A = this chain, B = another copy of it.
């Protein structure tokens, strides 16, 4: 019975094609990163990886959470109507990417100035420029809503960035689950 057999073959191939499609979607050419730290060196590393991947046409999604959210504040933007604790916390945390400290050898800013000086001298892109490049290359930045709430940050004090969004952990997990690379920068 060649007909029956062919039919079975067709059905098995149909199923294979469908499952293969699912597998391909589960592992997109996509990089998902959680950025947890607000240290200058770690944010720089994350941005170097993000920009490198975007330059290779990989889809890049950065999920900024906890301390890292303070790196995305715009120091020129002011907010009103915060409660006391949020104002205190806001004052203690860095106002944007230009005010971050090193995770090691910061030495009251001396170590950071030294590293920044060396980067300038050697024509290594600064974190500020790297962030702008990331935006130009289409790197998507999502800010953790729970962290915004916890830190008492408001959307109007965040930087202008081409592809800036706000989401929860479920969105990060859905993205990461189909990414070929996932990293947690703590």
Give the B-binding residues of A (Cβ under 8 A).
2, 5-6, 9-10, 12-13, 16-17, 19-20, 23-24, 26-27, 29, 31, 34, 36-38, 41-42, 45, 48-49, 52-53, 55-56, 58, 65-67, 85-86, 88-89, 92-93, 103-105, 114-115, 117-119, 121-122, 124, 146, 149-150, 152, 168-170, 172-174, 176-178, 180-186
Given contact pairs A42-B36, A45-B66, A180-B26, A56 touches B9 in the complex (Cβ within 8 A)? no
- Which among A37, A176, A186 has the greatest number of chain B C-beta atoms within 10 A? A186
Q: State whether B26 touches A150 (Cβ < 8 A).
A: no
Smallest beta-carbon distance A100→chain B, Å: 11
Given contact pairs A85-B114, A117-B85, A183 touches B34 in the complex (Cβ within 8 A)? yes
